[in-house]
Amino acid sequence: MSDLTGKVAVVTGGTRGIGLAIAAWMLEHGASVVISGRDADRLNIALKELARDGAPVGGLVADAARREGADRLVEMARERFGHLDVLVNNAGITRDGLVIRMKDEDWDRVLETNLKGAFLMIRAASKAMVRRKTGGRIINIASTAGAMGNAGQANYSAAKAGLIGLTKATARELAHWGILVNAVAPGLVETDMAAALPADARDALLAQVPLKRIGTAREVAEMVGFLAGDGAAYVTGQVFHVNGGLYM
């Protein structure tokens, strides 16, 4: 069983869905965790849920797309728990539409949150990890859309494909310091994001899943947890697809 005792993790967008499941998994396996979200009320609800048994968890209202938020999150992990070992770039949004009708701001906002946000967090976190000289783990939550493309999601598919490139480039750069960088690419997973898909698009995707069901946030968290632990010590620059076979 994975053991993250003594490890400190930051999970962006940890207030619901996949991020919340990752934070819960890490707390169950001994880590201390800092989560972020944009909405203070939602963040407080998540913190109450996660801290139920006195678990070591902190939270910050921070926009993942802004540099100040990234720096403050890393600072908070260090102030509250002493250091930072694991970064999970999970915060993400969709603003779907056909490319011929897509507004500039829908393109920009999706790229800023899903891709630039990850860059800002990786820069802030890896500086702290390099200084401490004990290595680290960075796990980026990509998407099947980034590997195979999804009609109606040109912005999101481009951002997630970019995140896979960012994963591989930073895995090469940061290996020297023992910082391992990987991506987890979920398929269709039961969260608010998947619920927002039009029913016909959701059904069309589900029809292509060999395992014939939607995935759970916990099933994504299991893969992220593995990548954060000792069992993944020789794994970097890889993309792990958790998608019921939707993309192979």
Nearer CB in complex with ligand NAD: 151/233: 151
| Cα–Cα distance, 211 to 56 (Å, whole number) | 36
Give the per-residue SS3 of 67-121.
Answer: HHHHHHHHHHHHHHHCCCCEEEECCCCCCCECHHHCCHHHHHHHHHHHHHHHHHH
Q: What is the DSSP string of 130-153?
A: HHHTS-EEEEEE--HHHHH--TTB
Least distance from ligand NAD to the Cβ atom of residue 234, Å: 26
Nearer CB in complex with ligand NAD: 45/175: 45
Nearer CB in complex with ligand NAD: 32/144: 144
Least distance from ligand NAD to the Cβ atom of residue 94, Å: 7
Q: What is the DSSP string of 60-72?
A: EE--TTSHHHHHH
CB contact at 8 A, 91 and 113: yes
Query: Which residue is catalytic, options 25, 81, 156, 226?
Result: 156
Least distance from ligand NAD to the Cβ atom of residue 124, Å: 14
List phi, psi (to 5°) of 61: -80, 115
Nearer CB in complex with ligand NAD: 75/130: 75
Which DSSP category does 9 fall into?
E
Q: Is 247 a catalytic residue?
A: no
CB contact at 8 A, 91 and 117: yes
Binding site for ligand NAD (CB under 6 A): 12-13, 15-19, 36-38, 63-65, 90-93, 113, 141, 143, 186, 188-189, 191-194
Least distance from ligand NAD to the Cβ atom of residue 233, Å: 25
Q: Which residues are catalytic?
A: 156
